[in-house]
Copies of this chain bind each other. A is one copy, B any other.
Amino acid sequence: MRRRSRKPVTAPRKLPVQARSARLVADILEAAVRVLEREGAQRFTTIRVAETAGVSVGSLYQYFPNKQSILYRLQVEEWEQTGATIDAILGDTTQPPQQRLRTMIRAFFHSECEEAPLRNALDAATPDYHAAPESRAKRERGRHVVRRFLAAAAPRATPRQRAHGAELVFMTMTSVGKQLSERRPTKAEVNRVADAIASMLTWYLAQLGG
């Protein structure tokens, strides 16, 4: 299956310099998404990705040191995108905090549900991604954004309380969003659950010192 390799899985073997290789890398990443969505984590193989992309395995391995690196790259891109969305909504100071929280959770849940097959397969294919420093850094940044939001949402809380509150908001949001996405819910269901979660968290933050 796998040869032993302790090299960092994220370091590319070679960087694309000509236009054709840049397109090749893009094609591979796009194909990887399609393979994950259509075949699932179990059937995510380098040969299948290469075939789907219309290139050969050898070409794939010229720009990705191993299979994991493709998956890691997709994970990073996923989180960067949703992270930016969260950041934008929570930082929109033209809205009152509770409105921001509700809007953000709705957006997050819908995003999770729309890309459910991809995200679930991606999570299943990268069982140790959470331990990776990249993942920890991304989530730390997410928690930081939420913590800054809490300065507005719970101004009278102590820093310690705010840290706990941010952790709770972040954890509840991400975990419920993930589980909800596994059920393939309707839009109405998503909104219902999102609003319930947002209401509970709003109440919690008010208790904390809103």
Contact surface of A with B, Cβ cutoff 8 Å: 40-42, 124, 127, 130, 164, 167-168, 171-172, 174-176, 178-180, 182, 192-193, 196-197, 199-201, 203-204, 207
Main secondary structure of the interface of A (DSSP, over half): helix
Query: In the complex, A182→B192 CA distance in Å?
Result: 27
Are B182 and A172 in contact, with the CB atoms below 8 A? no
Q: Do B171 and A193 touch (CB < 8 A)?
A: yes
Contact A130 B182 (CB under 8 A): yes
Q: How many copies does the complex hold?
A: 2
Query: What B residues does A204 contact at CB under 8 A?
Result: 196, 199-200
Q: Which of A41, A124, A179 has the most CB of B within 10 A?
A: A179
Residue of B nearest to A176 (CB): B175
A124 to B127, CA, bound (A): 7
Determine how close the nearest CB of chain B comes to the CB of A9; give it in whole angstroms. 14
Q: Are A171 and B182 within 8 A (Cβ)?
A: no
Smallest CB gap from A172: residue in B: B176
Q: How far is the CA of A197 from the CA of B176 in the complex (A)?
A: 12
User: A168-B193, A180-B171 are contacts. A40–B127 as well, Cβ < 8 Å?
Assistant: yes
Q: 17 A-B residue contacts at CB 8 Å?
A: A42-B127, A124-B124, A164-B196, A167-B193, A168-B193, A168-B197, A171-B179, A171-B180, A172-B176, A175-B175, A175-B176, A175-B178, A175-B179, A199-B204, A199-B207, A200-B201, A200-B204
